[in-house]
Amino acid sequence: MCADSSEIKGLKRKDLLGILELRREEIELILDTAISFKEILERPIRVVPYLRGKTVAFLFFEPSTRTLNSFNLAARRLSCDSVSVSASSSSILKGETLLDTAKNLEAMKLNFVVVRHSSPGASHILAKNLTSSVINAGDGSHEHPTQALLDLLTIKEHFAKFEGLKVLIVGDIEHSRVARSDIWGMKKLGMDVSVCGPPTLIPRDIEKMGVRVYYNLKEAIEGKDIIYVLRIQKERQAIGLFPSTREYIKLYSITEEVLEKYAKRDVVIMHPGPVNRGIEIAPSVADGTRSLILPQVTNGVAIRMACFYLLPGGEGREEGRVKREEGRGMRDEGRERREEGGERRDER
Ligand code: CP
């Protein structure tokens, strides 16, 4: 896999709660590990035994398609068992708190808790009170670290660099945990980040994050390498913060026409999903040759495998190093598995 020796450097932290707290080297370690896992995902048999005997609990109290299923697949690809809790089918309905729910699950012997919750800081509370490694899968409009990591991996694969790349994040910045995590991650890796949207959807003081602010899309798009489109999050708006959807489309929708007139020829389009087709982005752009939307989703599995692999999962780390099972290197394990696969094919 990704190491020549029997030891792979792990993260020196128990939990993954946000991009803000990660050092550049930690981000790069996660990306490099994910690139190694992508190789495994291309194999005919996409399962490795690295987390055999470990268990993850998924606590998702907000809807999810991409994040939940890619975490789930990542766990399965690593031979990790899983249990799932949702607000609608658990004792949360009977008044049990999030923390009590998590502690009861941990009493059944867990290694990881992956949590999505509408309250900013929900994952921090669990992290403080559990011995399992907690991964934030989105907390309100605060952070969505694994989304930012998969976005960075997609950018790295396309451009083979970060330094100096110009990205424009367009849409509902105010309510977007993805925007916050992406801005922190992109800035840490040397990218030039701008945001654009209606004034009511741009947080006050966002310039303090080191980004440039535009209200006019046509000006904003010029010279950018990446346009990162965000969904209008109606579920997080207490009041309508823009006059009408029709007006939003007219001023901020990313269409072929806007790209043809104002964007660089080789600009790429990203979006975290779910996509509101015909609102923030035209279907032809979402499905077009410039779109990296599905590669982003593909990279989500490898990034989440890397996060599970690099976090301690409720077990101590020696100086941030993962002790491999019986001292065997990941590369050796991978080779053995390939050889086993070859033998099986030969037998047929
Ligand atoms: N990008 C993202 O978080 O998508 P889901 O809400 O489907 O998980």
| Tens-place pLDDT, residues 269-304 | 999 999 999 999 999 999 999 999 999 999 999 999
| Residue 21 confidence (pLDDT) | 97
Atom of ligand 1 nearest to the CA of 68: 8
| Residue 240 confidence (pLDDT) | 65
pLDDT in tens, 98-135: 999 999 999 999 999 999 999 999 999 999 999 999 99
| Residue 339 confidence (pLDDT) | 44
| Residue 134 confidence (pLDDT) | 98
Question: For residue 339, how far is its CA from the centre of ligand 1 (angstroms)?
Answer: 37
pLDDT band at 325 (very low <50, low <70, confident <90, very high): very low
Residue nearest to atom 6 of ligand 1 (CA): 64
pTM above 0.85, yes or no: yes
Q: Which domains are delineated in the chain?
A: 7-142+299-332 (3.40.50.1370), 145-296 (3.40.50.1370)
Question: For residue 167, how far is its CA from the centre of ligand 1 (angstroms)?
Answer: 21
Percent of the chain with pLDDT strictly greater than 90: 80
Per-residue pLDDT at 6 exceeds 60 = no
Q: How far apart, in whole angstroms, are the C-alpha atoms of residue 156 and residue 78?
A: 24
Question: For residue 22, how far is its CA from the centre of ligand 1 (angstroms)?
Answer: 21
Q: Most confidently modeled of 54-68, 242-256, 316-330?
A: 54-68
User: What's the whole-number mean pLDDT along residues 26-51?
Assistant: 96
> Degrees (nearest 5) of the Cα angle 238, 206, 204?
45
Q: How far apart, in whole angstroms, are the C-alpha atoms of residue 263 and residue 320?
A: 44
Question: For residue 89, how far is its CA from the centre of ligand 1 (angstroms)?
Answer: 20
| Residue 90 confidence (pLDDT) | 82
| Residue 112 confidence (pLDDT) | 98
Per-residue pLDDT at 242 exceeds 80 = no
Residue to mutate, 58, 60, 65, ligand 1, most ligand atoms under 8 Å from C-beta: 65
Report yes or no: 262 and 222 within 8 Å, Cβ to Cβ.
yes
User: What's the whole-number mean pLDDT along residues 6-28?
Assistant: 89
Q: What is the mean pLDDT of the chain?
A: 89
Q: How far apart, in whole angstroms, are the C-alpha atoms of residue 240 and residue 245?
A: 10
And the tokens for 22? 């990660």
pLDDT band at 27 (very low <50, low <70, confident <90, very high): very high
Residue to mutate, 60, 66, 144, ligand 1, most ligand atoms under 8 Å from C-beta: 66
Q: Is 244 helix (H, G, I), strand (E, B) or coil?
A: coil
| Residue 4 confidence (pLDDT) | 38
Least confident residue range of 105-114, 171-180, 253-262, 331-340: 331-340
| Residue 2 confidence (pLDDT) | 44
| Residue 329 confidence (pLDDT) | 42
Sheet holding 268-270, edge to edge: 212-214, 192-196, 166-170, 226-229, 268-270
162 beta partners: none
| Residue 37 confidence (pLDDT) | 96
Sheet holding 55-60, edge to edge: 81-86, 55-60, 112-117, 133-139
pLDDT band at 268 (very low <50, low <70, confident <90, very high): very high
Measured from CB, residues less than 6 Å from any atom of ligand 1 are 64-67, 138, 147, 272-274
143 beta partners: 139
And the tokens for 264? 């660089």
